[in-house]
Amino acid sequence: MPKKTLHIESDGVTRRNFLTSMGAGAVGVAASEDLFAAGREAAGPQVMPVGQTFKISLRINGRTHVILAEARWTLLHCLREVIGLTGAKPGCERGECGACTVLIDGVPRYACLTLAVEAQGCEVTTLEGLMDGEALGPVQTAFVETDAFQCGYCTPGQIMSVEGLLRANPRPSAEEIRRGVSGNLCRCGAYKHIFEAVRRAAELKAGK
């Protein structure tokens, strides 16, 4: 008489099925890892090692500067620490205060939030680029005439935003002036004088 074998299933999963599925899963994981590794080798390294530099070309104030830079370096860092143009100031360094404002193709941009590699092929203008030799530009002159600064730390960024505003709109209204400098903070609260400086700069640029 044949001996009966007791076969117990729990939720439809047997020991044989469990071991079979686990074995198939392991094979699948191993295969996917091999495919991932092969794809990674084919694509090459995706991240540049820290400290590795490469040549980039920056056009600043009408001059071309070829420098060695890391991919993570900001335009602000390269301007100040590599090229030696210190007009743009490090303030918050997270795009809130505007002290680092420069013009990129005539548009005000935060240099602390712009990678140096992003600025390649663009015309970058800094505070120094508004001067004619030792002579101040119209916006700089207007800030002096209207006493539009106190501690002066935010002033370079304020001037660059005003320059960008007046290049786009030579005769801005009071509301347009407020919007134009809204991305620049003045801890001293010299906003009334800054608004006067914008109006005076518009006059100077118009030859009045």
Q: For 136-171, how does the pLDDT look when each residue is reduced to its tens digit (9 = 90+)? A: 999 999 999 999 999 999 999 999 999 999 999 999
* Mean pLDDT computed over every residue of the chain: 86
- Torsion over CA: 167, 169, 170, 176 (sign): negative
The pLDDT value recorded for residue 42 is: 56
Domains of the chain and any CATH numbers: 48-127 (3.10.20.30), 131-208 (1.10.150.120)
Range 28-34 average pLDDT: 53
Q: Is 158 helix (H, G, I), strand (E, B) or coil?
A: helix
Q: What average pLDDT score do residues 49-78 get?
A: 94
Selected residue with higher pLDDT from 172 and 46: 172
More confident residue, 156 or 38: 156
b/e map 78-112, b = 16+ CB within 10 Å: bbbeebebebbbbbebeeebbbbbbbbeeebbbbb
Q: How far apart are CA 127 and CA 204, in angstroms?
A: 17
The pLDDT value given to residue 16: 57
Closest CA relative to residue 106, chosen from 87, 88, 122: 122
Q: What is the pLDDT of residue 98?
A: 98
Determine the pLDDT at residue 3.
46
* Other beta carbons within 10 Å of 127: 24
